[in-house]
Structure formats: C-alpha cells, structure tokens
C-alpha cells in the first residue's frame, strides 16, 4: 500500500488520538485524498468516547504541512480548485467543531493551507524549528481555507495583515510571542512525548467541562456579549448536572485527584 492510499495515519496514545499526515515527500501537502482522510479519521476520533484530545501533526521533521498540494493543483480546472477549497470547510469541519480540544503539533513548516489547518485547531504546539506563514498573496491568491478569518481572531487584525500582505514568516519563538502558538517544545525534547505531557490536564480532565468550555469560548466570536453570557450560563448548567462535577467535590474533600468518567 502506498502513502497515497493512506495519506493520514491514526493512532491512540491513552486518551489522546493522533492524526499524522503521512506525505513527507511532498512536505505533507494537502491533496484531495488527504483532506478526505482528515475528515473521515477526524470523525472516528471525535466519535470515540475514550478519546479526550486530538493531535494533528505531520510525518518527519521538515513539515507539519506545506499547504495545498501544488503539484496536484497543476492539473486542476478552476472548478476543481473551487471544489477543493470547499473541502477544507466540509472535511475539516469535524475538527473545527470537535467537542474535544484539537491540538496542531507543528513538527516543521506550517505554510498556507498548513497554517490554516493549524488555525482550525484549538491549540498549537510547535517544534523550535517550525516556521509559520501564509504566503498565498505571493502566489497571486489569498488564504481560502479560513486564514483571513481565523488568523485575525488569534493574533489581531494588524498582525494578520502583516503576515498575509507581506508574506511574513514567523519562527516558533515569534509565533509564541504573538500568541499564534501556545507552547514551543525545546530542541532535544521528544516532540510527541512533550506534547502529550503538556496535554495531561485535558487527557485526565472532565470531558463534559472541556466540551462546554470550548462551546462557550467559540460562541464568544459569534454572538454579542449579552447573548454570549446567556450561552455561558447554559453551558455552565450542563457541567453542574454532570457526575464529574460531583466527583471533583468528593475528591477535593478526600484530598485526592478526581477520576473523571465523562458522565
């Protein structure tokens, strides 16, 4: 079986599901098959009640993802390109709306659609050698997979304009200082192990609370403040009615760590 048959690998490490784009020879660029595989396997992990967090990463050490597969795209008609851009929304929507936190583990360059994929995720962890950028305007186009919308929400309008119009590429350290990545793994540490350790509060956490928190935070970008505060109350109530909340109170009284079951 070739890499093209299975462009994305899936594995589970404890409560963490891991999707790895396995196209190192093309710097893990997003072909049509890769987008479909991310959608299909993403759904598998979202539907798996034993999985509490999802990592999306790339094979090798050179690239998380170098964006659209420009070699595949050479043979595309304009309608093919439009269809492909639609796949970013339809196929990556499952990760975008995941009730479990999704983490992009940037093991190398994240350019164009690669950074847009990382922006679909809730959190971003980077290797110290990672480079992040949206070079689309230098190719005569604009980011078409959410980059113009999501980047500004994360780093603010001025910095988004700078990255997109100047084609400015950021080192991992710069991305950390801009808030574009949440955590940088120091050189020499095992990237996946360090990320799994960083994710322990989620992997051991209360899934209902995690999902409610994500829904509330995501809503803050969609609705006016008054409505957002109402929604926060609704989601808070979901956690109040959970057994995990009772378990946290009992564990506190018993001076032990809570064991959350997602109930």
144 versus 258: smaller Cβ distance to ligand COA:
144
DSSP H or E stretch at residue 10: strand 8-13
Stretch that binds ligand COA, among 23-31, 152-160, 170-178, 198-206 (CB under 6 A): 23-31
**Is 174 known to be catalytic?**
no
The residue number whose beta carbon is nearest to ligand COA equals 112
Residue 135 interacts with ligand COA (CB under 6 A)? Answer: yes
112 versus 146: smaller Cβ distance to ligand COA:
112
Residue 27 interacts with ligand COA (CB under 6 A)? Answer: yes
Assess contact for 166 and 204: CB atoms under 8 A: no
Measured distance CA(57)–CA(38) in Å, rounded: 11
Assess contact for 34 and 73: CB atoms under 8 A: no
Q: Which of 11, 49, 83, 139 binds ligand COA (CB under 6 A)?
A: 139
50 versus 70: smaller Cβ distance to ligand COA:
70
Find the shortest distance in angstroms from Cβ 136 to ligand COA.
5
Find the shortest distance in angstroms from Cβ 8 to ligand COA.
16
Residue 173 interacts with ligand COA (CB under 6 A)? Answer: no
Tell me which residue of 129, 93, 130 sits closest to 115, measured CA to CA: 130
Q: Which of 12, 71, 82, 153 binds ligand COA (CB under 6 A)?
A: 71
Residue 26 interacts with ligand COA (CB under 6 A)? Answer: yes
Measured distance CA(43)–CA(256) in Å, rounded: 34
Stretch that binds ligand COA, among 60-68, 97-105, 160-168, 221-229 (CB under 6 A): 60-68
Tell me which residue of 161, 184, 170 sits closest to 111, measured CA to CA: 170
Q: Which two tokens stand for residue 40?
A: 């299909």
**Is 254 known to be catalytic?**
no
Q: What are phi and psi of 189, to 5 degrees?
A: -85, 150
Among 4, 11, 44, 116, the one annotated catalytic: 116
Assess contact for 145 and 88: CB atoms under 8 A: yes
Could you write out the DSSP letters of every residue in 141-184?
Answer: S---SSHHHHHHHHH-HHHHHHHHHS---EEHHHHHHHTSSSEE
Residue 29-58 contact track with ligand COA, rule CB under 6 A, x = bound: x-----------------------------
Measured distance CA(149)–CA(125) in Å, rounded: 20
Assess contact for 134 and 164: CB atoms under 8 A: yes
Among 136, 157, 226, 232, the one annotated catalytic: 136
Residue 101 interacts with ligand COA (CB under 6 A)? Answer: no
Residues in contact with ligand COA by CB under 6 A are 26-27, 29, 66-71, 109, 111-113, 135-136, 139
Active site residues: 116, 136
């Amino acid at each position: 079986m070739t890499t093209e048959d299975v462009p994305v690998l899936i594995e589970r490490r404890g409560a963490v599901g891991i999707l790895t784009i396995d196209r190192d020879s093309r710097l893990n660029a997003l072909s049509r098959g890769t987008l479909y595989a991310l959608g299909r396997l993403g759904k598998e992990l979202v539907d798996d009640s034993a999985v509490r967090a999802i990592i999306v990463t790339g094979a090798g050490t050179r690239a998380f993802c170098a964006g659209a597969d420009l070699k595949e795209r050479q043979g595309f008609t304009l309608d093919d390109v439009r269809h492909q851009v639609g796949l970013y929304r339809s196929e990556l929507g499952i990760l975008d709306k995941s009730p479990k936190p999704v983490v992009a583990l940037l093991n190398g360059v994240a350019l164009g659609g690669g950074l847009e994929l990382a922006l679909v995720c809730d959190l971003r962890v980077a290797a110290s050698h990672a480079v992040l950028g949206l070079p689309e305007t230098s190719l005569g186009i604009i980011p078409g997979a959410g980059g113009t919308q999501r980047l500004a929400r994360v780093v603010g309008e001025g910095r988004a304009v700078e990255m997109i119009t100047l084609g400015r590429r950021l080192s991992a350290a710069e991305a950390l200082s801009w808030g574009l990545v949440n955590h940088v793994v120091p050189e020499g540490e095992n990237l996946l192990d360090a990320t799994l350790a960083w994710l322990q509060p989620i992997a051991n956490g209360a899934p209902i609370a995690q999902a409610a928190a994500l829904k509330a935070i995501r809503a803050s970008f969609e609705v006016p403040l008054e409505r957002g505060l109402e929604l926060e109350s609704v989601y808070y109530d979901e956690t109040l009615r959970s057994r995990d909340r009772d378990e946290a109170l009992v564990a506190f009284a018993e001076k032990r760590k809570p064991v959350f079951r997602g109930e």
